[in-house]
């Protein structure tokens, strides 16, 4: 059934009538309808834990903005939360873990593997609800499930919060790499089961977000992040060869330029700091490319159209999915997001 979905077809490199488009963070605070449901839920985590409401906000951008794929509404940090790290979202501050991992003993106290993944029942319930609702719509919209890359998750688990310098995890990287690898290994195992259960519950496509890839020096990126993402992709491909996988490592142009990208996945997500032409030259033969408009261009319709046309031109004879080069920001006017989506669909139309 999923074969008839334009987004799935594009992920698999098949020709489509136009290049499908979606936006990272498309279900979020720039939509008044999202803010209304979040207010009803009380807070962001309650919303993630409520399958009916989470399904509702997942579908909002389809009708309001016109995107070609839905992304499950959840957060990457539900994984460390269910491993026992007690996640909080503090207004105006962001995510916070009160007892970050400092030692092997701290890691040993956490719940691992399938046991942790089994606790995320609210995510699987949301996916099952969405599967039914999407099938009823009969518009062949695909559902993207997702997870954080082990490295990006580990940065929060070690620092306890977002960070500009990554000094605590980098101290561990250079002075106690064994502990960092043990953390990355544990998280990788949970994520494998988690994504397997997401697929079993009904998602069509997997995206792995390595949002903080750029924090690692290029020569060490494979060792501390990419190889773990590839391990997750290998595991999923061995069991579900027909489910497309998108890898999104943000901010690693040197790794791309040096030809170091490898692995069994379908789509490479290009961030906005990497020229699409470079990604195409280095990766376009092997992978479908997704991306990559600078999200702040959404503040101007002219700047949006200019960029969409330029990307469409670069990717005219290539395999492509339109997206932003990172998430949409909360103060973007909804009409500009609609404009972006329409322009992507127009500029890539094949006759």
Q: Is the distance from CB of 292 to CB of 268 less than 8 angstroms?
A: no
Q: Name which of 211 and 290 has its Cβ closer to ligand CP3.
A: 211
Q: Name which of 60 and 189 has its Cβ closer to ligand CP3.
A: 60
* Closest separation in Å from C-beta 65 to ligand CP3: 11
If we measure between CA atoms, which residue out of 123, 266, 132 comes closest to residue 206?
Answer: 266
For position 94 contacting ligand CP3 by CB under 6 A, the verdict is yes
Sign of the dihedral defined by the CA atoms of residues 99, 101, 106, 109, in that order: positive
Q: If you search the block for the tokens 């994520």, which residue do you land on?
A: 191
* Closest separation in Å from C-beta 71 to ligand CP3: 4
* Closest separation in Å from C-beta 308 to ligand CP3: 20
Q: How many CB atoms lie within 10 A of CB 39?
A: 10
For position 77 contacting ligand CP3 by CB under 6 A, the verdict is yes
Among 327, 336, 338, 342, which residue sits at the site for ligand CP3 (rule: CB under 6 A)?
327
For position 273 contacting ligand CP3 by CB under 6 A, the verdict is no
Q: For residue 338, which phi and psi values (nearest 5 degrees)?
A: -65, -40
Window 190 to 219, contacts with ligand CP3 (CB under 6 A): 209, 211
Q: If you search the block for the tokens 């080069």, which residue do you land on?
A: 325
Q: Is the distance from CB of 60 to CB of 337 less than 8 angstroms?
A: no
Distance between CA atoms of 96 and 110, rounded to whole angstroms?
Answer: 17
Distance between CA atoms of 313 and 277, rounded to whole angstroms?
Answer: 10
Among 75, 88, 114, 125, which residue sits at the site for ligand CP3 (rule: CB under 6 A)?
75
User: Catalytic positions, please?
Assistant: 25, 29, 38, 75, 156
Distance between CA atoms of 70 and 146, rounded to whole angstroms?
Answer: 11
CB under 6 A: which stretch of 70-78, 121-129, 239-247, 315-323 binds ligand CP3? 70-78
Q: Name which of 284 and 328 has its Cβ closer to ligand CP3.
A: 328
Among 42, 84, 162, 333, which residue sits at the site for ligand CP3 (rule: CB under 6 A)?
162
Window 16 to 45, contacts with ligand CP3 (CB under 6 A): 24-29, 38, 44
If we measure between CA atoms, which residue out of 217, 55, 44, 236 comes closest to residue 132?
Answer: 55
* Closest separation in Å from C-beta 48 to ligand CP3: 8
Q: Is the distance from CB of 255 to CB of 282 less than 8 angstroms?
A: no
For position 146 contacting ligand CP3 by CB under 6 A, the verdict is yes
Which DSSP string do the residues of 129-159 spell out, in sequence order? HHHHHHHHHTS--EEEEEEE-HHHHHHHHHH
Q: Name which of 146 and 194 has its Cβ closer to ligand CP3.
A: 146
If we measure between CA atoms, which residue out of 235, 256, 293 comes closest to residue 114?
Answer: 235
For position 71 contacting ligand CP3 by CB under 6 A, the verdict is yes
Q: If binding means CB under 6 A, how many residues of this protein chain bind ligand CP3?
A: 20
* Closest separation in Å from C-beta 75 to ligand CP3: 4
CB under 6 A: which stretch of 73-81, 118-126, 135-143, 315-323 binds ligand CP3? 73-81
Distance between CA atoms of 209 and 84, rounded to whole angstroms?
Answer: 21
* Closest separation in Å from C-beta 66 to ligand CP3: 15
Distance between CA atoms of 51 and 128, rounded to whole angstroms?
Answer: 9
Q: Is the distance from CB of 224 to CB of 173 less than 8 angstroms?
A: yes
For position 155 contacting ligand CP3 by CB under 6 A, the verdict is no
* Closest separation in Å from C-beta 47 to ligand CP3: 7
For position 66 contacting ligand CP3 by CB under 6 A, the verdict is no
For position 293 contacting ligand CP3 by CB under 6 A, the verdict is no
Residues contributing to the site for ligand CP3 (CB under 6 A):
24-29, 38, 44, 71, 73, 75-77, 94-95, 146, 162, 209, 211, 327
């Amino acid at each position: 059934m999923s074969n008839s979905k334009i987004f799935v077809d594009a992920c698999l490199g098949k020709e489509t009538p136009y290049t499908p488009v979606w936006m990272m963070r498309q279900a979020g605070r720039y939509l008044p309808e999202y803010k209304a449901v979040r207010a009803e839920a009380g807070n962001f985590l309650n919303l993630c834990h409520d399958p009916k409401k989470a399904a509702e906000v997942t579908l909002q951008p389809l009708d309001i903005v016109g995107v070609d794929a839905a992304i499950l509404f959840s957060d990457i940090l539900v994984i460390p939360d269910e491993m026992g790290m007690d996640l909080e979202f503090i207004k105006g501050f962001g995510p916070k873990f009160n007892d970050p991992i400092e030692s092997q003993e701290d890691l040993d106290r956490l719940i691992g593997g399938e046991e942790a993944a089994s606790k995320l029942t609210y995510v699987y319930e949301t996916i099952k609800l969405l599967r039914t609702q999407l099938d009823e719509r009969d518009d062949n919209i695909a559902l993207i499930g997702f997870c954080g890359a082990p490295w990006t998750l580990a940065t929060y688990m070690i620092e306890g919060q977002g960070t500009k310098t990554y000094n605590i995890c980098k101290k561990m990287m250079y002075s106690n790499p064994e502990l960092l690898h043990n953390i990355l290994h544990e998280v990788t195992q949970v994520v494998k089961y988690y994504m397997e259960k997401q697929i079993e519950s009904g998602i069509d496509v997997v995206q792995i977000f390595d949002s903080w890839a750029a924090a690692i020096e290029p020569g060490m990126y494979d060792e501390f992040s990419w190889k773990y993402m590839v391990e997750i992709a290998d595991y999923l491909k061995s069991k579900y060869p027909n489910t497309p996988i998108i890898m999104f490592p943000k901010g690693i142009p040197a790794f791309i330029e040096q030809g170091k990208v490898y692995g069994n996945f379908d789509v490479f997500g290009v961030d906005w700091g990497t020229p699409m032409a470079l990604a195409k030259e280095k990766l376009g033969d092997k992978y479908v490319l997704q991306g990559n408009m600078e999200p702040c261009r959404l503040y101007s319709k002219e700047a949006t159209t200019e960029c969409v046309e330029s990307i469409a031109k670069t990717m005219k004879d290539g395999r492509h999915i339109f997206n932003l080069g990172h998430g949409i920001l909360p103060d973007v006017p909804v009409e500009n997001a609609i404009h972006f989506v329409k322009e992507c669909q127009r500029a890539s139309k094949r006759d």
